[in-house]
Amino acid sequence: MKLRVSITILVLILGGLTWWMLRGSNSGKIRKELTLHIPDTAAIHQIDILDREGNRQVLERQKSGWMINGESARTHAVNNLLATIHNQRVSALIPTSALDNVVRDLSSNGVRFDVKGKNGNSMMVFYVGGVTPDERGTFMIREDSEWPVIVNIPGFEGSLRSRYIMSSNEWKSRRIFEHVRTIHSLTVDYPSRQDQSFILEKTDEGYTVKPFYESSARPVTVHPYLVEAYRDQLNKLFAEAVLDESKRSVLDASIPFCTLIVTSGNGETQKLEFYPTVWIDYLEDVPSTQNVERYYTDSNDQTIFLTQHLLMQNIFTGYEHFVSLKGFGTQK
């Protein structure tokens, strides 16, 4: 009897030891597969995004800031993505009853994210899929893993998919004017308000302004504070959205409400053309900004932005604004 008990105890000990050894040999792999965050996002220098249709987007950290496919990226969107990669955690494994559907979703709709460090080596590669029925979790899986998981941010209720998956236009910066240090020349043309159109230029003595449509008019000296205040307004311009090129042919065939051309001290020239959306979408040729809420804004004949009148109105100043200090420092 004692011998039988001893043998039983020995078998249990050996079985337990075997289980412990097997568990120890796989625990590191399991922990890695269930880790979907990066503690040090400052070490991230590139994120390659690839969808199932072969569309590739590359976010890259440069000295001047983050770039998306070689263009300036929207700071808020990138910071939001980095914060998500830092804060997200695996909250649960996929229930057996839903496993097949989740795997199919990740296989057909999952978007691949390859997060790289400064040396170009991958720090983490994972796929982002759909969301849970209650929209509180997002399906993800690490590359080469067999463990699809549900991911969320502790304390946050909602899907993370929208922070990861955006079109290239949604990733792009919404700044519509590159930073201007000094204004060398400024042309503001209102085709329907020609008396307010003007040309402002910097000379050795200071700034002068004259009407755009009166070539024979003598230049008038402009107070430098007015020019500096206008420059500051230009540097604050941000759009509501970056649009595709579907409106390009219509805009090219239309007359803008305002054309603004700035040449900075380094010789760089930037141009903005503002087309009220009601003029384009509803064919309303209204020679004023009354009832205008938004503009299709063409930047340098390259990018079309959607801008709000409320945020643009401060740059729609006229000739009279610059020939006198009257009203300077007050909101128009």
Whole-number pLDDT of residue 34: 81
Say which residues have a Cβ less than 8 Å from residue 100's Cβ, sequence separation at least 6. Answer: none
Are 202 and 184 a contacting pair, CB within 8 Å?
A: yes
Interatomic CA distance for residues 296 and 284, integer angstroms: 14
Q: Within a 13 Å sphere around the CA of 20, how many CA atoms are in the beta-carbon half?
A: 6
Sign of the Cα pseudo-torsion (240, 244, 250, 252, in order): positive
**E strand or H helix at 306:** strand 303-308
Judge whether 153 and 88 are in contact, CB under 8 Å: yes
d(CA 50, CA 330): 50
pLDDT in tens, the chain (332 residues): 554 444 444 433 433 433 344 344 455 555 677 889 999 999 999 999 999 999 999 999 999 899 999 999 999 999 999 999 999 999 998 888 888 899 998 988 899 999 999 999 999 999 999 999 888 999 999 998 888 999 999 999 889 999 999 999 999 999 998 999 999 999 999 999 999 999 999 998 899 999 999 988 899 999 899 999 999 999 999 999 999 999 999 999 999 999 999 999 888 999 999 999 999 988 655 555 568 999 999 999 999 999 999 999 999 999 998 886 543 444 43
For 235, the token pair is: 């540097």
* Alpha carbon distance 162, 313 (integer Å): 32
Instruction: Using CA atoms of 134, 136, 142, 144 in order, give the dihedral in degrees to the nearest 10.
Output: -10
What pLDDT is attached to residue 97? 85
Alpha helices in the chain (DSSP H): 2-33, 75-87, 96-109, 161-164, 168-171, 224-234, 248-252, 277-281, 309-312, 319-322
Count of residues making up the chain = 332
Q: How far apart are CA 220 and CA 204, in angstroms?
A: 14
Q: Which two tokens stand for residue 73?
A: 């990226």
Residue 31 is predicted with a pLDDT of 66
CB burial class (10 A; 0-12, 13-18, 19+) of residue 33? buried
